[in-house]
């Protein structure tokens, strides 16, 4: 039997590339030393049928293509330097729709104060947008440089996009978060001077925790601290979905997940929510509201699976 | 009638983006001042059905994805800094084919001495590779900074890829150039100290000449200097194709097209071929071997047409 890429999945493919390249880092982005600072570069490809919900506007597609890339800069504590846009369009796309995509891209560039500096246009059977974001930071914030006892925190609400993808009506906070996510670039720049590590939540909290885990370290997350509202639970229930599954295993919130010492948390000048702590248990666990402890599954969004 | 993107074509779409963004340059790449040097960044998306001939190996696809991006650095006279790879694969692609693509990418990175520093993986209905190349140069070589009287020159042979795409047999210089093009990165670094302007030949000589043309300036190309071999003419004839059309209007050679003063040409330490000169005629013309002069048509490869 011939092995197909879908038999092994995205994570194994990435591992193969990393194992064969001595120059690629394991972090969210590339770090290139540059005098007294560091050039941060990152690229993310969005494909219409995979990354854009059916009810997403062309404007929001363009905005999101910038957000997903800027979010990687945010996770490194980098300030923005420039954005490159490679875009492929179907031949029969209306010019007006193309203009709306570009308006979304340019609005996002303005919002994040990252200049659009270059790009490429192409033809494909669906809309494909590859962004590249460049940034600078004197002190790159790595994703796995925490210590036992550090607190685990997030910048905003998680699970909102996950629920929003499932809801058909547009005027609610969940769908708005799913269709119009924002990267936490300002928070990232603050966090680099306070946090011990950070990453952005793309593929779900569970997936990111496994991504940042080092041997000998564990994480304990407390459901109580996740602060799941009754409304959230009710909506998930109506959709026949498990609310904890939505909270932990879907992602696309683009919030920052970071670790911080108790001392630094007191000084931190931005809003955040502590959701757990770094342990030496070597496992990733959740203390449920009822007091039971269960292992969090290593399950999140993965392409080619 | 609703206007589709194919009604206006790639060039008009690019113009729309440039007109709406004050931060995008008109050159091949983005230039960001950085202390005493300049960060050069460029992105190019390759789509299997558009950019990879049917007889191209997976290894060569990976190699080409690096070449097209490094070629843009070469045109700016930049040295290589880093390469980012965003790649989408069909689910049923064999793992072995994926490994060959990556081998091609890594071989190209080694060949051009540009480290692979990051990337992204995705799923799509065909192979899509977006590369981003980063480079540095103290003196960016612009594409339209020539003067009347400058000579027009190229680094190697043009039209070879164009012919190669049409020939089915593999063991000839034309097909080899079409399947395994190389970027002129070393030549670009030399040229920045001698040439008055440079660009790379992606979409054909004619298209690039129109791309670099400024108001009030013209170009005269001499067929005699293009040095078209009898073999080339015979092969084109057998394919019922016009050899000058292949030479001028197809591209994918990734040679550098540059302008240079007569004085600097004498000192230039790399091989090149002078093919014409910058005039004040305001038109782009070709002097045929028979002495007649004709206008070169503004026709080259363009997506979404």
Residue with tokens 């490159």: A84
Pick from B93, B124, B128: which is nearest to A4 by CB?
B93
Whole-number pLDDT of residue B159: 95
Tell me if A303 is assigned to some domain: no
Q: Is the confidence at residue B228, as pLDDT, over 80? A: yes
Tell me if A178 is assigned to some domain: yes
CB A279 within 8 A of CB A296: no
Contact check, Cβ <8 Å, B95/A6? no
Do B46 and B161 fall within a single domain?
no
Do B13 and B103 fall within a single domain?
yes
Q: Is the confidence at residue B25, as pLDDT, over 90? A: no
Where does residue B92 rank: exposed (0-12), middle (13-18), buried (19+ CB within 10 A)? exposed
Which H helix or E strand runs over B16?
A: helix B5-20
Q: Is A160 left (phi over 0), alpha (psi -120 to 50) or beta?
A: alpha
Tell me if B124 is assigned to some domain: yes
What is the Cα gyration radius of chain B?
19
Do A186 and A228 fall within a single domain?
yes
- Phi, psi (rounded to 5 degrees) for B200: -105, 150
Name every residue whose Cβ is closer than 8 Å to that of residue B253 and which is 6 or more positions away in sequence.
Answer: B156, B157, B158, B159, B160, B161, B162, B177, B181, B201
Residue B296 DSSP code? P
CB A276 within 8 A of CB A151: yes
Q: What six digits make up the tokens of B96?
A: 């072995």
Q: Is the confidence at residue B209, as pLDDT, over 80? A: yes
Do A120 and A160 fall within a single domain?
no
Tell me if B38 is assigned to some domain: yes
User: How confident is the prediction for chain B on average, in pLDDT?
Assistant: 95
Whole-number pLDDT of residue A250: 93
Q: Is the confidence at residue B2, as pLDDT, over 80? A: yes
Pick from B4, B30, B125: which is nearest to A95 by CB?
B4
Which of B88, B103, B137 is the last residue in one of the domains? B137
pTM value is 0.94
Whole-number pLDDT of residue A293: 98
Helix (H, G, I), strand (E, B) or coil at B5: helix
Do A130 and A155 fall within a single domain?
no
Contact check, Cβ <8 Å, B123/A304? yes
Number of Cβ within 10 Å of residue B233's Cβ equals: 14
CB A247 within 8 A of CB A162: yes
Contacts of B106 in chain A (CB under 8 A): 20-21
Tell me if B130 is assigned to some domain: yes
Which segments within chain B are labelled E, that is strand? 30-34, 37-47, 79-89, 116-123, 128-137, 151-154, 197-200, 218-222, 256-260, 273-279, 284-287, 293-295
Residue with tokens 């790009």: A119
Residue A156 DSSP code? S
Do A213 and A121 fall within a single domain?
no
Which of A137, A168, A195 is the last residue in one of the domains? A137
Render pLDDT for A156-173 as a digit per residue (tens, 0 to 9).
Answer: 999 999 999 999 887 899
Do A177 and A288 fall within a single domain?
yes
Which of A13, A14, A21, A78 has the highest number of chain B CBs within 10 A, making it the mutation to test binding with B?
A21
The residues of chain A scoring below 70 in pLDDT are 304-305
Render pLDDT for A2-59 as a digit per residue (tens, 0 to 9).
Answer: 899 999 988 899 999 998 887 887 777 999 998 899 999 999 999 999 999 888 999 9
**If we measure between CA atoms, which residue out of A76, A300, A58 comes closest to residue A187?**
A76
Tell me if A304 is assigned to some domain: no
Contact check, Cβ <8 Å, B29/A96? no
Pick from B13, B43, B123: which is nearest to A84 by CB?
B43
CATH number of the domain residue A210 falls in: 3.90.650.10
Q: What six digits make up the tokens of A18?
A: 């990393």
Give the strand pairing for B218-222 and B284-287.
parallel
Sheet holding B218-222, edge to edge: B197-200, B256-260, B151-154, B273-279, B218-222, B284-287, B293-295
Which of A2, A3, A24, A71 has the highest number of chain B CBs within 10 A, making it the mutation to test binding with B?
A24
- Our count of domains for chain A comes to 2
CB A305 within 8 A of CB A10: yes
ipTM (interface pTM): 0.93
Q: Is the confidence at residue B28, as pLDDT, over 90? A: no
Whole-number pLDDT of residue A25: 78
Which of A107, A137, A167 is the last residue in one of the domains? A137
Helix (H, G, I), strand (E, B) or coil at A171: coil
Render pLDDT for B58-90 as a digit per residue (tens, 0 to 9).
Answer: 999 999 999 999 999 999 999 999 999 999 999
> DSSP secondary structure string, B249-260?
HT-----EEEEE
CATH number of the domain residue A95 falls in: 3.30.1330.10
Do B190 and B285 fall within a single domain?
yes
Tell me what the mean pLDDT of segment B129-145 comes to. Answer: 97
Whole-number pLDDT of residue B300: 79
Do A36 and A106 fall within a single domain?
yes
Whole-number pLDDT of residue B288: 97
- Start-to-end CA distance of chain A, whole Å, equals 18
Domain containing A25 equals 5-137
CB A116 within 8 A of CB A129: no
Tell me if A301 is assigned to some domain: no
Contacts of B130 in chain A (CB under 8 A): 43, 45, 86, 120, 130
Do B290 and B229 fall within a single domain?
yes
**If we measure between CA atoms, which residue out of B52, B58, B82 comes closest to residue B70?**
B82
Count A/B contacts: CB-CB distance under 8 Å.
Answer: 233
Whole-number pLDDT of residue B61: 98
Do A279 and A163 fall within a single domain?
yes
Do A110 and A202 fall within a single domain?
no
Report CA-CA distances (Å) from B150 to B140, B264, B281: 19, 10, 14
Tell me if A175 is assigned to some domain: yes
Whole-number pLDDT of residue B153: 98
Tell me what the mean pLDDT of segment B202-210 comes to. Answer: 95
């Amino acid at each position: 039997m011939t092995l197909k890429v879908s038999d092994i999945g995205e994570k194994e493919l990435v591992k193969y590339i990393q194992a064969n390249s001595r120059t690629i880092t394991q972090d969210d982005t590339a770090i290139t030393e540059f005098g007294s600072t560091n050039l941060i570069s990152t690229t993310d490809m969005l494909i219409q049928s995979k990354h854009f919900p059916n009810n997403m506007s062309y404007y929001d597609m363009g905005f999101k293509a910038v957000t997903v890339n800027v979010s990687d800069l945010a996770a490194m504590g980098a300030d923005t330097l420039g954005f490159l846009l490679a875009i492929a369009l179907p031949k029969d796309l209306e010019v007006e729709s193309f203009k709306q995509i570009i308006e979304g891209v340019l609005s996002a560039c303005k919002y994040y104060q990252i200049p659009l500096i270059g790009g490429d246009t192409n033809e494909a059977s669906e809309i494909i947008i590859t962004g590249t974001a460049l940034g600078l930071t004197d002190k790159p914030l790595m994703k796995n440089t925490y210590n036992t006892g550090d607190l685990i925190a997030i910048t905003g609400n998680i699970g909102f996009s996950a629920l929003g993808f499932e809801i058909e009506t547009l005027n609610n906070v969940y769908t708005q978060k799913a269709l119009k996510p924002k990267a936490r670039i300002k928070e990232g720049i603050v966090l680099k001077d306070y946090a011990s590590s950070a990453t952005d939540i793309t593929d779900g909290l569970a997936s990111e925790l496994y991504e940042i885990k080092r041997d000998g370290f564990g994480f304990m997350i407390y459901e109580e601290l996740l602060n799941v509202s009754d409304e959230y639970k009710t909506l998930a229930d109506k959709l026949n979905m498990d609310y904890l599954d939505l909270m932990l295993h879907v992602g696309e919130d683009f919030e920052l997940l970071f670790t911080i010492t108790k001392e630094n948390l007191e000084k931190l000048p931005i809003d955040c929510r502590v959701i757990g702590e770094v342990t030496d248990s070597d496992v990733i666990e959740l203390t449920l509201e009822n007091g039971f402890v269960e292992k969090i599954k290593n399950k999140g969004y993965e392409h080619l699976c």
